[in-house]
Amino acid sequence: MNNLPINPLSCATEGAGGPTGTWRSHRPVIDPAKCTGCLLCWIWCPEGVIAKEDRSINYDYCKGCGLCAKECPAHAITMIKEADHE
Amino acid sequence: MSDTIKNVKLADMPAYELVKAGTGGCAGCPSPMGLRIVGKALGPNSIMVMTPSCAVASIGVMPKSCYDVPVLNVCFASAGASAAGISMSLDAQLKNGALSGEKPTVFTWVGDGGTYDIGFQGISAAAERNDDFIHFCYNNEAYSNTGVQRSGATPKYAVTTTTPAGKESQKKNVPLLMLEQRIAYVATASLAYPLDFYRKVQKAKSIQGFKYIELHAPCGPGWKFASSDTVELARLAVKSGAWLLWEGEHGKLTLNAPTKQLAEGKMPCAELEEYLKLQGRFAHIMKSTEKAAAIEAMKSEIRREMDFMLGREKL
């Protein structure tokens, strides 16, 4: 019992549910030339892995749900099969 | 898309993330999607109360948590009582000097099971006492976390594991009950209208007393649709009239766009079938010989609801 931390509280940390990027079968890829910066992908990404500033994607945790590609009004996001991605 | 992105000022929403990436939630889950917007509206000075739900299962494994604010996981029936106790305790500590500064926003994030059924008396009692917190119900219309059993929020005809032939009774209307409890603020919201939701959360934060916000939360595994379709389903629910957007202060009701325009007939409703056919839980209806009659019955229920709310708005 003495080895327990004094304050046994969980801390907010990325990847609390594990390396969820490994769940992905397809990865979203953004074409910066088509992106209008409307930020809809940023607000709708369930995991918040799309950065507000530059729409870069954190593939460590992107689960590949495909919502961003489906909702992008400029069709700037494509879902590419992981195996085909170099 | 057009009415969703009209006047978008998403850029004004803070970059603050209440939900850290890499949650335990399913791909396309509406719960972290909604919570991210809640976090942007409320900020980090908040305390969250949860009852058993996917939102709890998504937290992750100790010593990590995907939520950036203190979270209390309480028993299923006690969201109303627990949040009320925390809020009163903060008031007492602010009064006696144990705490100083701005009072943290106390809010619950509870599913429809913890709101409509198991948690109902505690929430109704907190509403009646006018306790100072925001109750969020993220309504995925079933007990999805435990394997998609029917709840009081499951719509008629929907298949769940406990209604294998489709639910026979109508769903409850808890937001309407809250409106009639004349609470400080009550609103319904949709993930397809993030700015409307954000505004409603900000408004709730600014009001003292009991606030209730219900977010329609389409659940992929529960309703059986693709993970990319969460927002599309939320949008079609609003546009077909299956989910109404409105808000009320002390019993005074206001219908919000586009529900108001749909109810007044200034804009045609989207075909209900477009909404139903994307969901596996209604597949038995779509294949049935009674399809036309069932869809007609659902449409007349929507019309009744809209007429009722238009009349209620005049009070």
Q: Give the position of tokens 């209440």.
A: B18
d(CA B70, CA B25): 19
pLDDT band at A84 (very low <50, low <70, confident <90, very high): confident
- For residue B62, the model assigns a pLDDT of 86
Q: Does A46 touch chain B (CB under 8 A)?
A: yes
- Does the CA dihedral B64-B68-B72-B75 come out positive or negative? negative
Q: Does A3 touch chain B (CB under 8 A)?
A: no
Residues in chain A closer than 8 A to B19 (CB atoms): 47-48
pLDDT band at B8 (very low <50, low <70, confident <90, very high): very low
Q: How far is A32 from chain B (nearest CA, A)?
A: 18
Is B208 in contact with B273 (CB distance < 8 Å)? no
Q: Does A35 touch chain B (CB under 8 A)?
A: no
d(CA B172, CA B283): 23
**DSSP letter for each residue of B126-183:** HHHHT-SEEEEEEE-SSBTTTT-B--TTPPTT--BTTBTT---SPPP-HHHHHHHTT-
Q: What tens digit of pLDDT does each residue of A37-68 get?
A: 999 999 999 999 999 999 999 999 999 999 99
CATH number for B264: 3.40.50.970
pLDDT band at A8 (very low <50, low <70, confident <90, very high): confident
Picking from B8, B22, B30, the nearest residue to A17 by CB comes out as B22
Percent pLDDT > 90 in chain B is 96
User: Are residues B64 and A48, on separate chains, in Cβ contact within 8 Å?
Assistant: no
Residues in chain B closer than 8 A to A35 (CB atoms): none
Give the mean model confidence (pLDDT) for residues B173-179. Answer: 98
Per the model's pLDDT, the better-predicted residue between A86 and B200 turns out to be B200
Residues in chain B closer than 8 A to A52 (CB atoms): 15
- For residue B6, the model assigns a pLDDT of 44
User: Are residues A16 and B32, on separate chains, in Cβ contact within 8 Å?
Assistant: no
Is B157 in contact with B127 (CB distance < 8 Å)? no
User: Are residues B66 and A69, on separate chains, in Cβ contact within 8 Å?
Assistant: no
Q: What structural domains does chain A harbor?
A: 31-84 (3.30.70.20)
Query: Which helix (H) or strand (E) element contains residue B274?
Result: helix B272-276
* Domain count across chain B: 1
pLDDT band at B259 (very low <50, low <70, confident <90, very high): very high
Give the mean model confidence (pLDDT) for residues B240-257. Answer: 98
**DSSP letter for each residue of B17-82:** -SB-SS-SSPTT-HHHHHHHHHHHHH-SSEEEEE-SSHHHHTT-STTEESBSS-EEE--GGGHHHH
Q: What's the half-sphere exposure (Cβ side, CA atoms, 13 Å) at A63?
A: 22
Q: What tens digit of pLDDT does each residue of B297-313 get?
A: 999 999 999 999 999 99
Percent pLDDT > 90 in chain A is 84
Q: Given a cut of 60, is residue B167 above it in pLDDT? A: yes
Q: How far is A86 from chain B (nearest CA, A)?
A: 23
Range of the domain at B29: 2-313
- For residue A86, the model assigns a pLDDT of 57
Give the mean pLDDT of chain B.
Answer: 96
Q: Are strands B46-50 and B105-111 parallel, antiparallel or unpaired?
A: parallel
The two tokens of residue B100 are 């100083």
Picking from A52, A53, A65, the nearest residue to B227 by CB comes out as A65
Q: Given a cut of 50, is residue B1 above it in pLDDT? A: no
User: Are residues A13 and B20, on separate chains, in Cβ contact within 8 Å?
Assistant: yes
Which chain B residue lies closest to A10 (C-alpha atoms)?
Answer: B63
- For residue B283, the model assigns a pLDDT of 98
Residues in chain A closer than 8 A to B67 (CB atoms): 12
Give the mean model confidence (pLDDT) for residues B104-124. Answer: 97
Cα–Cα nearest to B19, from A70, A66, A20: A20
Picking from A14, A21, A44, the nearest residue to B231 by CB comes out as A44
Which chain B residue lies closest to A21 (C-alpha atoms)?
Answer: B22
Is B87 in contact with B106 (CB distance < 8 Å)? yes
φ, ψ (nearest 5 deg) of residue A78: -120, 140
- For residue B216, the model assigns a pLDDT of 98
Residues in chain A closer than 8 A to B229 (CB atoms): 67, 70
Q: What tens digit of pLDDT does each residue of B192-213 get?
A: 999 999 999 999 999 999 999 9
Which chain B residue lies closest to A50 (C-alpha atoms)?
Answer: B21
User: Are residues A65 and B27, on separate chains, in Cβ contact within 8 Å?
Assistant: yes
Picking from B13, B15, B228, the nearest residue to A67 by CB comes out as B228
- For residue B108, the model assigns a pLDDT of 98
ipTM of the complex in this document: 0.93
Q: How far is A82 from chain B (nearest CA, A)?
A: 16
Give the type of residue at A14: E
Q: Give the position of tokens 């799309």.
A: A50
d(CA B264, CA B247): 17
∠ CA B237-B41-A65, nearest 5°, is 50
Which chain A residue lies closest to B225 (C-alpha atoms)?
Answer: A65
Q: Does A25 touch chain B (CB under 8 A)?
A: no
Q: Given a cut of 70, is residue B3 above it in pLDDT? A: no
pLDDT band at A3 (very low <50, low <70, confident <90, very high): low
Picking from B22, B194, B231, the nearest residue to A15 by CB comes out as B22
Which chain B residue lies closest to A41 (C-alpha atoms)?
Answer: B10
Residues in chain A closer than 8 A to B32 (CB atoms): 46-48
Give the mean pLDDT of chain A.
Answer: 92
- For residue A5, the model assigns a pLDDT of 60
Q: What tens digit of pLDDT does each residue of B126-164 get?
A: 999 999 999 999 999 999 999 999 999 999 999 999 999
Q: Given a cut of 70, is residue A2 above it in pLDDT? A: no
User: Are residues A12 and B66, on separate chains, in Cβ contact within 8 Å?
Assistant: yes
Q: What's the half-sphere exposure (Cβ side, CA atoms, 13 Å) at A26?
A: 16
Q: Given a cut of 70, is residue B214 above it in pLDDT? A: yes
